[in-house]
Amino acid sequence: MDGEDSQLYSATKQQARRVVIQNNPEKKQPIRLRNDVIKLEEQDTEISSYWVKIPVYNPEKGRGESIWCPAIIPRKDREDVKECEFGDSELVKHEEDWFVHLVIKREVELETIRPDCPSSFSDVIAIDMGVRWVVMSVALLNCETKFYGEEVREIREHYKMLRKKIGKKKVRKGKQVIKKIGNKESRKVEDRLHKISREIVEDAKERDAIIAIGDLRGIREQEDKGRKFNDKLHKFPFDKLKRFIEYKAEWEGIRVIEVDERDTSKTCNRCGSQNTKRVGQGKFVCRDCGLEDNADKNGASNIAKRALGKSIRRPLSEAGALLAVPRTPAEKGEAKC
C-alpha cells in the first residue's frame, strides 16, 4: 500500500472516487482508468518485474490514495509497453481478484484499397466463419487453405454435456456450479479465440496480405438446419472473434475489410457460374466447369475476390492483379495487451 499521493490533482481524485470496492462491485464493471491516473514501472523484485500504480479511494480517510500492484507483461509485448503511449485502461474484477487491463497506443500504416494504383500488399487472406469450422481461411494467390476451431467445438461440447449431467443429477447448489462451469468454459473459449486470431494475423503478416472477412449477417441468416445447428449458431461468439482479428491486425498495420457474403456460397469461384450444388457434408460442385471443392473454401475465395472490388461472376483467371494505393500516412490504432 502506498499513500504518498494523498494530494492528488482534481481530475485524479474524481477518477479515484470511482474506483471504490463496495458491497456490490459488479455494478461498476469494468471501471475506466484514464491514462493520466495510472503509471507502469519496471522494478525487478521477487514478486514481479513490472508494477502498475492505480488510484483508489479510501472511504475511511475520505481521499484518494495509490496502490502498487504486480503486473504480468507477456515477453512479446514488453518492448511495446516501454515505447508506446498508454490509452485509457480498465479495472475489472474476476471472481475474487482484480485486474488492470492496460491499453497502449501505437502508430501503424494501413493499406487503402483502390483499383487504380500499384499494390502495397501481396495477397488477400479471406476468412469464412461457421459452425462446422469456426474459421476457415484461404490465401488467394496459391489457394492455401487452413481450418481453425476444432478445439473450440470440443470445449463447448464437453461443457454442454457436463451441464446436462449436473441438471439430471440435481446437484446441490446446481445453479452456482453451472455458473462456475460457464465461466470456466468462456475463459477457455476466449483463450482459444485469441490464439486463432493471432495465427491468422501472423499468417497475413508473413504473406504481406490484407484480411477479408465475410459479413457476419451472412452467418446469422443461414437457413434453418434444425434445433441443434441453430443452438450452436446463435451461441457462438463470432463478433468477439472478429474483434480479436481486427485489433490484432490493426496493431500490425494490416487492413481488415468486411465483405458482403451475398451469393458467395452458391457461385463458383473458378468460372463465376451459379449452376452449382452442395453435396453431402460441405462439398461444392459446379455443373458448368466441373469444379469440386470444399464449400467453405469456395465461399472464402469469392470473399477475397469481392474484397478487391472484383465481380464474383467473373472467372478467377480474369479477376486481375491485386491493386491498392501505396501505404498512406500513419493512422493511429489501439490494442489491449
Strand 63-71 relative to strand 97-101, pairing: unpaired
Q: At what angle do helices 150-169 and 174-207 cross, to 10 degrees?
A: 180
More confident residue, 227 or 191: 191
Average of per-residue pLDDT values in the chain:
76
Sheet holding 50-58, edge to edge: 39-42, 50-58, 63-71
* pLDDT at residue 109 tops 50: yes
Return the C-alpha cell found at 241.
Answer: 472473434
* pLDDT at residue 157 tops 50: yes
The confidence score (pLDDT) of residue 181 equals: 80
Highest mean pLDDT among 21-35, 254-268, 319-333 belongs to 254-268
Reference 333, options 192, 214, 201; nearest CA is 201
What does 287-318 look like in DSSP terms, one character per residue? TTT--EEEHHHHHHHHHHHHHTT--TTS-GGG
Global confidence as pTM: 0.69
The confidence score (pLDDT) of residue 261 equals: 87
Q: What phi, psi does 69 have (nearest 5°)?
A: -125, 140
Instruction: pLDDT band for 166, please (50, 70, 90 cuts).
Output: confident
Q: What percentage of the chain reaches a pLDDT higher than 90?
A: 21
Q: Which residue has the cell 468477439?
A: 240
Strand 256-259 relative to strand 209-214, pairing: parallel
The confidence score (pLDDT) of residue 156 equals: 85
The confidence score (pLDDT) of residue 235 equals: 60
Mean pLDDT of 78-101: 78
Contact yes or no for 223/79 (Cβ under 8 A): no
The confidence score (pLDDT) of residue 330 equals: 37
pLDDT tens digits along 291-302 = 999 988 999 999
pLDDT tens digits along 253-274 = 899 999 988 899 899 999 999 9
Instruction: pLDDT band for 336, please (50, 70, 90 cuts).
Output: very low
CB-count burial class (<10 Å; 0-12, 13-18, 19+) for 321: exposed
Reference 235, options 326, 313, 155; nearest CA is 155
More confident residue, 56 or 195: 195
More confident residue, 261 or 25: 261
pLDDT tens digits along 118-141 = 457 888 999 988 767 788 999 988
The residues near 219 (Cβ < 8 Å, ≥ 6 apart) are 129, 130, 233, 238
* pLDDT at residue 115 tops 60: no
Reference 242, options 263, 211, 221, 265; nearest CA is 211
* pLDDT at residue 44 tops 90: no
The confidence score (pLDDT) of residue 169 equals: 67
* pLDDT at residue 14 tops 70: no
Cβ neighbours around 203 below 10 Å, total: 17
Mean pLDDT of 198-205: 95
The residues near 69 (Cβ < 8 Å, ≥ 6 apart) are 51, 52, 53, 54, 100
Q: What phi, psi does 49 have (nearest 5°)?
A: -95, -15
Sheet holding 331-336, edge to edge: 85-86, 103-108, 331-336
The confidence score (pLDDT) of residue 282 equals: 82
Q: What phi, psi does 93 have (nearest 5°)?
A: -110, 130
The confidence score (pLDDT) of residue 3 equals: 42
pLDDT tens digits along 227-252 = 554 555 556 778 889 999 998 998 88
Upstream peptide bond of 30 is cis (omega within 30 degrees of 0): yes
Return the C-alpha cell found at 210.
Answer: 490484407
